[in-house]
Amino acid sequence: MKRIWLCATLLGFWAAPGWTQTTEELVNDGKNTENVMTQSLGYDRKSYSPLKQITKGNVKRLVPIWNSSLMNDQGELAAPTIYNGVMYVINGKWTFAIDVETGRQIWRTQVELEQGIVRTAFHRGAPAIYNGKLFRVTIDNHLLALDMKTGKQLWNQKFADAKEGYYATGAPIVANGVLISGVAGGESTTRGFLDGWDPDTGKKLWRRYTIPAPGEPGSETWPRNSDAWTQGGGPTWRSGSYDPQLDLVYWGTGNAEPYDPKPREGLDSLFTNSVLAIRPKTGEVVCYFQYTPNDVYDVDATDENVLADIQVAGQPRKVMIQTNKNGFMYVLDRTNCKLIAAHPFVKVNWATHIDMATGRPVLTDVSKRFAAGEEVEIWPSRGTSEHRPHLRQRGERAASTKARAAEANSNWRTLYGRHRQATGGQAR
């Protein structure tokens, strides 16, 4: 039984207008600025608030009102969600409900891990809330549903085994009434997947592996007569975007495994380093785009795909945008996953450009020399030309290693530097 602490006095007299979060409220997240119901203040993952009270002129007048310990010495990576005056906060050790006005703790529920788990517990993303329940994952591959009023655990489903190299840190999302969760562990020669769940009961509705089995679409990009696909990577350790009009979830996948491309015979290794457009009710893959075929640099594609409706060549287009770790910014048509544009946003030396006809990077001699076994310098650095909430910390640490921090396209903070890699893709 999970341990739960309640502030009885506060619960007894606290008047809350309602606990049920509807699909309509999730779709319209951001319009009612009193609530923050999704990780990025909207399914489109723009992370933009329309509030205007805080400006450049008055921001220096902000002062602390309250603070509350989250009882976690690992630091905080997860964003909170807010509903009807209550802030829901998660980390690797605890789940909290906190009164936004006063900072008073309403309840807290401790995460209890399986025996033998030695990996440090941490959490990215944000708790998902829907229909009076809070959903989160734990480092030992459990998906939990808690009662938002009390913090009581309603159900608990284990979806992977830590002994096989899997772990979980990313936030699940609710799309069209289905709870969808991913998994980490691509560096541990696992096989990535997404799961769809009934949020009321915890029943698993479907599983979509990111690495196809023999005979499935995409299996031709893995060696024949080999079990490489069973350990091919493609983790899903960040959260997805969702277009409710198209009823499509867009979820990025991680690196191919192993980093050394020889066991993979230098093939494309679908569906690693890709974005998948998925039907939330069934897990069907409607379309996909692979950013980096035959990845040898660990430039995964798990970062958020930002959804927007923009004009392209004078025509309205529904697009998704990602600043990929390979150094290129991509604009895709989110109705069919076709490439619209791709340009470098940091220094890139492993490819000259993206071929607009095929969507593939055009490799330079640097990449070819690396594939031949020569030690080369690869720009950008592995896994650092990305958009993340904690890049400021990475930039501060990088200052001591002669890396550079820069602003790209005014909205994206990027970090890149020299990164030496030797035969087999091993970082040095």
Residues 79-111 pLDDT 10s: 999 999 999 999 999 999 999 999 999 999 999
- pLDDT classification of 294: cutoffs 50, 70, 90: very high
pLDDT at residue 384 above 60?
no
Whether 298 is catalytic: yes
Q: Looking at residue 18, what is its pLDDT? A: 57
**What mean pLDDT is predicted for residues 349-374?**
91
Q: Looking at residue 19, what is its pLDDT? A: 62
Bridge-partner residues for 90, per DSSP? 95
- pLDDT classification of 32: cutoffs 50, 70, 90: confident
pLDDT at residue 182 above 90?
yes
CA pair distance 417, 398, nearest whole angstrom: 8
Task: Say which of 298, 303, 333, 355 is annotated catalytic.
Answer: 298
Q: Looking at residue 382, what is its pLDDT? A: 63
User: What phi and psi values does residue 188 have, to the nearest 5 degrees?
Assistant: -110, 25
Q: Looking at residue 49, what is its pLDDT? A: 87
Q: In one letter, which amino acid is 208?
A: R
Q: Looking at residue 342, what is its pLDDT? A: 98
Check if the beta carbon of residue 127 is closer than 8 Å to that of residue 110.
Answer: no
Q: Is the dihedral of CA 218, 222, 223, 229 positive or negative?
A: negative
- pLDDT classification of 408: cutoffs 50, 70, 90: very low
Q: Looking at residue 93, what is its pLDDT? A: 96
Q: Looking at residue 8, what is its pLDDT? A: 36
- pLDDT classification of 398: cutoffs 50, 70, 90: very low
Residues 35-71 pLDDT 10s: 999 989 999 999 988 889 999 999 999 999 999 999 9
